[in-house]
Amino acid sequence: MNDMPHHDRYDDCSCGKCDYCHHKGNRKFRCCFEESGGFDRTPAIWTREQAEQIRITPQNAAPVIDFDALEPTAPDLWVWDTWPLREQDGSIAVLPGGWRVIFSLTAPRSVLPGKRHDIATIRYFYARDGQDWIPGGRVFPQEDPFGSRQWAGSAFVKDGEIFFFYTATGRRGETSVTYEQRLAFARGDVFSDLEGVLFDNWEEHVIIAEPDGEFYQTQEQSGGGIIYSFRDPWYYLDPESGCEFVLFEGNTAITPAVRECEPQNIGDGDFRSGNDVPNGAAQFNGNVGIMLLRNSDYTEWELLPAILEAECVNQQLERPHIVYSGGRYHLFIISHQFTFAPGLDGPDGLYGFVANNLFGNYVPLGEGGLVIANPPEQPFQAYSWLVLPDLSAESFVNYFNLEGLSLNEVGNQPDQYIFNHFGGVLAPTLQLTVDNLDTTIVNELAQGLVMESETQSAPFPPTCEKRRHYGDLEDEDRDDHAHTRGKRSRDDHRINRGGRRKRHRHD
């Protein structure tokens, strides 16, 4: 692709599990690149045939929330998309002083709920019991982050430092709201004791990825009534390989004028012969993107082909994240009813897929992928579910008691009606079970509860033949180690498609 090296440039990597044989720098990158399948790998597909199986059942319908019993998460703020501070392996972090931490998109309650995305700020909360959250304030000083506002991301803690990924939306200082989306990174220090939690001493923020127009659609390539997607970076350390990735929400890179629904996006031959695809379905092209870490300071990444695509099925596969359980990879996304392509009907909900390896053939969980659905009597009561290592799922309270109104119709109501029917607080946590492809909501837990939980280890520790020691490395291999000390070859620059180092302060 362009002047990128071919995949076979990396066929000297003899190790199948990269963290255990090539521990550092370019050698590890090459091994992980090979493990990923390289640039020629084909994404798994969520087909229209599979999505037509979506059904709300007693197993996936969430209980109706007791709205009168809800407590405000922050008295003066709307709170929505939320994620926990994790250890690097994905386990829920517990900081000195016994604190668990969550991060949320927030906006003042004086703002109409529909306008909150245009001024979103990431704030944090901490609690010893994972439930009674204490507001900690803004994560970043106001002038530091990229974008006119910041959307969802992820964060982990290691050796007293926080590694923070977020969506930089728009441009700092813009005079009107724009929807450009880039992936950004910042690194800072964690201060935690019996008195509370503070994040400080942030290094300069870095843009780590922008859509490339080849694997992922740019804003210029996009079209239609739903904004394009390049957001929601979710850091993921693969327990089987030791390779480090970021998942994100994207769109397949193709312009509206040339889009069409391919047979593989529709279903098998029998399904295709009896089902016509409605006009306009080809404009829906959501995917789950992934990129691979290139360096040790988390500022350089390689965009790889998507791991799941939903062309002709859905426009937005939001907030993708993986829970490794039972030796299998459970990929979860959230999606709205209005982002499904014409001819398909799926509720606002949590959707899931499972594969035997990170880059495997993901197949839908539950009914066509539906894991959690809002109950039919409250179809928009919650949104933005995030599944944690113990298979509990946290979310926020969205719109409720709408008496049959659609979300589009809500926007036409008087301001006070909208304020009265929007939650903007953390929702009751739901407990899931997963048995092969079957999923069940088994319990409703406390509002906003994040429990201590650990990511499962790989069932069999990865092993491989380490054929050479550092003292016996050939010249090329010594050069690879030299690259990890800051010196990089021309070929290394050629492959740096997705995460170019950008240490400028101007947005």
| Catalytic positions | 81, 318
Phi first, then psi: what are they for 116, rounded to 5°? Answer: -65, -35
| Angstrom distance (rounded) from CA 164 to CA 141 | 14
Phi first, then psi: what are they for 385, rounded to 5°? Answer: -70, 140
24, 485 contact by CB (below 8 A): no
Torsion, Cα of 332, 335, 340, 345 (10° steps): 90
Identify the bridge partners of residue 353 per DSSP, sorted by sequence position: 331, 364
- Residue partners of 152: CB distance under 8 A and separation at least 6: 81, 83, 105, 166, 167, 231, 232, 319, 384
Phi first, then psi: what are they for 71, rounded to 5°? Answer: -105, 145
Phi first, then psi: what are they for 231, rounded to 5°? Answer: -155, 180
Other beta carbons within 10 angstroms of residue 297's beta carbon come to 13
| Angstrom distance (rounded) from CA 100 to CA 81 | 17
Residue 312 amino acid letter:
C
Torsion, Cα of 11, 330, 163, 215 (10° steps): 50
83, 332 contact by CB (below 8 A): no
Phi first, then psi: what are they for 40, rounded to 5°? Answer: -95, 0
Other beta carbons within 10 angstroms of residue 16's beta carbon come to 16
Phi first, then psi: what are they for 27, rounded to 5°? Answer: -60, -45
Q: What contacts 24+ positions apart, CB below 8 Å, involve 333-338?
A: 333/249, 333/288, 334/383, 334/384, 334/385, 335/286, 336/383, 336/407, 337/379, 338/226, 338/407, 338/408
Name which of 254, 194, 224 is nearest 338 in CA terms. Answer: 224
Q: What would the DSSP string read from start to end of 283-314?
A: G-EEEEEEEEE-STTS--EEEEEEEEEEETTB
What letter does residue 388 receive in the DSSP assignment? -
Name which of 335, 360, 339 is nearest 45 in CA terms. Answer: 360
Name which of 157, 344, 151, 209 is nearest 266 in CA terms. Answer: 344
Beta strands in 12-120 (DSSP E): 44-45, 77-84, 86-87, 100-108
The number of helices, as runs of H, and strands, as runs of E, in the chain is 8, 24
- Please give the structure tokens belonging to residue 110: 């004086």
